[in-house]
């Protein structure tokens, strides 16, 4: 069950990353600085989430 949480964490991080890149494309078209700040923050959240999920999966793999 815990390993599934890591997988779902990776899926969630990938989804957040895709959303952030979509926002970056919007920023290129509009030049909106607030949207740029939001996209950068979303990328940081996605990277952090992916790293936490990978760490969780590794820890669960070592416990077996």
pLDDT at 38: 92
Q: How far apart are CA 48 and CA 62, in angstroms?
A: 21
Q: How far apart are CA 20 and CA 45, in angstroms?
A: 10
pLDDT tens, N- to C-terminus, the chain (64 residues): 556 777 888 888 899 899 999 999 999 999 999 999 999 999 999 999 999 888 888 887 755 5
Q: How far apart are CA 10 and CA 6, in angstroms?
A: 6
Asked if 3 contacts 60 with a C-beta cutoff of 8 angstroms, the reply is: yes
pLDDT at 9: 84
pTM for this entry: 0.75
Asked if 5 contacts 41 with a C-beta cutoff of 8 angstroms, the reply is: no
């Amino acid at each position: 069950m815990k390993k599934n949480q890591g997988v779902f964490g990776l899926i969630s991080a990938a989804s957040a990353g895709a959303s952030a890149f979509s926002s970056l494309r919007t920023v290129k078209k509009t030049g909106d600085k607030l949207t740029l700040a939001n996209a950068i923050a979303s990328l940081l959240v996605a990277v952090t989430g992916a790293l936490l999920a990978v760490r969780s999966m590794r820890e669960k793999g070592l416990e077996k």
